[in-house]
Amino acid sequence: MKSKSQQNEWSSGVWAHLTTVRRQSPLVQCITNFVSMDLVANTLLSAGASPAMVYSVVEIPDFTPHIHALCVNVGTLTPDWLPSMKAAAEFASKLGKPWVLDPAAVSCSGFRLKACLELVELKPTVIKGNGSEIIALSSASRGHTKGADSSHESPDAIEAAKSLALSSGAVVAVSGAVDIVTDGKQVIGVHNGTKMMQKITATGCSLAGLVAAFLAIDSSRALEATVSAMSVFGIAGELGEAMANGPGSLRMHLIDSLYGLDETTVLKRVNITRLG
């Protein structure tokens, strides 16, 4: 059971993070899959950040040094894209810029699993996946996922997430009914969101992009920034669902709700607890 003062502490932190993103409008480079490019970019814009879907390997040396954060998502990975992802991740790590790895459908092939393991070596600040993806990546062995969707509830992934966080040095975030965020020691649960968000493709990818934006404005507190981004996205989903008739209109209302989030609503709806 969370105490009121703990809850208030989280709530005011979430609101402070969102207002800082709106004020600073961090530039977030997203090398993400074709399915998600539109929703990720619109999510970032609605939150007040500045998205750039720059992914050609020839542009990375000029562009990546100017970004504030990077998001890499392997959802439609091909051998042509991997060098871009690695080059951008290397720049980000070398220049001390935060970056997020989304190991989308990591266990769908040996190629993708190997690529993700190589990307983990490049020191992501945060690894954000669904339960299946975090379990597969953590055990570094081939599993069985249903394409890009999760077949595990996120609590199954807590131990896997902690172990991946400790071995990689990243904060690990698991999206699901309860989002889990851990640095290997602390485990935080974010209880915002709605089930129907799973019926819109690329909500998880968009969440990873949003995490990158929040890291950009508070990179020394990666766990807290990640928790805030997850709560904000979940609240936007909750508000969106109240106006929606199904997934299509939820997609639209989620974006509108994210754009319009105000302090009273955030303070009232943040639902974060310490799980360990």
Ligand X SMILES: Nc1ncnc2c1ncn2[C@@H]1O[C@H](COP(=O)(O)OP(=O)(O)OP(=O)(O)O)[C@@H](O)[C@H]1O
Give the orientation angle of helix 4-24 with respect to helix 37-47, to 10 degrees.
100
When asked if residue 14 is in the footprint of ligand X (CB under 6 A), the reply is no
Tokens representing 264? Answer: 């009273």
The CA–CA distances, whole Å, from 238 to 86, 197, 209, 251 equal 35, 9, 19, 12
Tokens representing 131? Answer: 């339960």
Burial class (CB in 10 A: 0-12, 13-18, 19+), 53: middle
Question: How many residues make contact with ligand Cc1ncsc1CCO (CB under 6 A)?
Answer: 10
Spatial distance between the Cα atoms of 159 and 245, rounded to a whole number of angstroms? 37
When asked if residue 33 is in the footprint of ligand X (CB under 6 A), the reply is no
Contacts of 155 (CB under 8 A, 6+ apart): 176, 178, 180
Binding mask 213-252 for ligand Cc1ncsc1CCO (x = CB under 6 A): ----------------------------------------
When asked if residue 33 is in the footprint of ligand Cc1ncsc1CCO (CB under 6 A), the reply is yes
Binding mask 93-132 for ligand Cc1ncsc1CCO (x = CB under 6 A): -----------x----------------------------
Nearer to ligand Cc1ncsc1CCO, 104 or 170 (CB): 104
* Other Cβ atoms closer than 10 A to 16: 15
Binding mask 144-173 for ligand X (x = CB under 6 A): ----xxx-----------------------
Nearer to ligand Cc1ncsc1CCO, 157 or 187 (CB): 157
Binding residue (CB under 5 A) for Mg ion from 104, 136, 187, 190: 104
Give the orientation angle of helix 203-217 with respect to helix 222-243, to 10 degrees.
140
Residues that bind Mg ion (CB under 5 A): 104, 204
Residues that bind ligand Cc1ncsc1CCO (CB under 6 A): 33, 35-36, 75-76, 104, 148, 201-202, 205
